[in-house]
Amino acid sequence: MTATKDTTTYEFRTARPEDAEAIVALDGSFTTSTVFEVAVTDGGFALREVPVDPPLVKVFPDEFGDDDDDDDDAGEGGAEGDSRTFVAVGADGALAGYAAVFYSPWNRRLTIEDIEVAPDHRGRGLGRALIGHAAGFARERGAGHIWLEVTNVNAPAIHAYRRMGFAFCGLDTSLYQGTVSEGEHALYMSMPCPCP
């Protein structure tokens, strides 16, 4: 058991098969009063944080991100790489958050494939703690960097990632075309590993 910054106690561990249903059911929605506006330029791109009124409420559909085969036995990877899912479980036994990661040996990249914290558990350092477990896994594998993708409208996550040491490293203006997130842009962020 580990206490987060507000002294709430959580158990952090590798996901087990019985966690799968709770992981899929976790509410990853968020509300934000600002978004990052993306301007593509000849030399790259620029970001500008702008207010939105009324605040934007983003709810991900159940099938969002379900297009890959998640039959990796809750964290045991295959020969091409190594995946792991870390979970945070509250004192009541309920899932409070998780981080699913994948290590690619060819470029020594640990990708944060998904990270979510249940709304009632946000603001307690749980996301930072989950990233810490991912960073430990990255160090064990010899990763050179940790990488993630985030939508430009998720300003709360972007701010949190920047506080943790992530920096912008790329943009994809077409990733969400044809999805419920059409019109949003994928921002890529990374941080070196060994991590601070």
Model pLDDT for residues 32-46, shown as the tens digit of each residue? 999 999 998 888 899
Asked whether the beta carbons of 193 and 138 are under 8 A apart, the reply is yes
Q: Is the backbone peptide bond immediately before 17 cis, with ω within 30 degrees of 0?
A: no
Query: pLDDT at position 67, please?
Result: 44
Q: Does pLDDT of 76 surpass 50?
A: no
* Interval 133-190: pLDDT, tens: 999 999 999 999 999 999 999 999 999 999 999 999 999 999 999 999 999 999 999 9
DSSP 82-138: EEEEEEEEETTS-EEEEEEEEEETTTTEEEEEEEEE-GGGTTSSHHHHHHHHHHHHH
Residues 177-187 pLDDT 10s: 999 999 999 99
Question: Dihedrals φ, ψ of 21, to 5°?
Answer: -65, -45
